[in-house]
Structure 1
């Protein structure tokens, strides 16, 4: 196990804003250089990074923070993870690395084109984006709309194949239930029986439309009984 917390810069931001620990203590705990911590405090480093509470993340205890605040020479100890119990509550928003965030509009375009049954809320949760961004891709008002190339979010590393399959399956089941409630038949059952689409003519009408071969041949050659009489004359 690493001796530094996950997302050390975000942890350092929180410790700077919420504790009286020294830069050296925060640097030692987060695995950063003291000058880097000072830069974070001055706003020159990690601009826009949201702080993460290491206490809530079970990486640091309140007692450790209090010991460090009371003694500037004290070095904080990273908490060892306990047995995790699956959390059935509301999941936190999906975190997308900064390097891959620029690919999200391409992934949104792929979802919109290939899975129209998936709602904006489901796409947002799957890709870690907002409804406003999804809508801008849908109506092509996105600032980079002309350069968007639909790409599979799994290939872009924005989600796993299992997560994508689960979202698509859930959306398809919901759509099927709504269609059934509204009396809409599935696409595979929309063909009408043959006796409803094929028109049969009565035998009498078909006999009347039979072609007289002799008359057709006479019309084609231009010969008739009147022509024969003219020839005799």
Structure 2
């Protein structure tokens, strides 16, 4: 048995690709160092729409992956040969799954109830559905979705900062921790999702909920009042 975080990012910013490429090796080392402190055996580097092979030091296995932005939401592609890059929004979920399977990778529905309608596509042959560490309270809905599709659950932290690694993770029943073995375990249903209940993680979730509530209030206050400050034709 191995514990693996199947959804993590090596950088805490998006855009500025050239700057990010220089940061990624450091980000990978920070991810694996935190995963080691958490007692995890592996972590997948699933950056948005690109994959860069990395060789971080330490005992934690860095699994290849990419988080692809489809035209309906995000899909995690994890395995031995993820695509090097994809154009955000260019692929449908079905095309993404076909691409993943052609490259011997698993295709996982990421955070199915956040900024996504991928979950509505019953005919797309996904391999698993994610319990996301940012939204563990949605787990009952995710479990219902997985039961309806007869798909296994996996866990991923969706870490954009190293200290977030391991707040959700996957238990993988395999003899070895290799990209191919993880894909096989996912497809065979030899995986299960876990959410960390440590005091630190509970505090972190409360903090994020407070930040999100504050942001919602600010966004509501900044919305223009209908008819105010608009040209006459738009009132």
- For normalisation by structure 2, the TM-score amounts to 0.23
Q: Give the structure with the higher percent strand.
A: 2
Bigger relative CO (Cα 8 Å, ≥ 6 apart): 2
Task: Give the TM-score of the pair, scaled to structure 1.
Answer: 0.24
Between structures 1 and 2, the one with greater helix share: 1
- The structure with more radius of gyration: 1
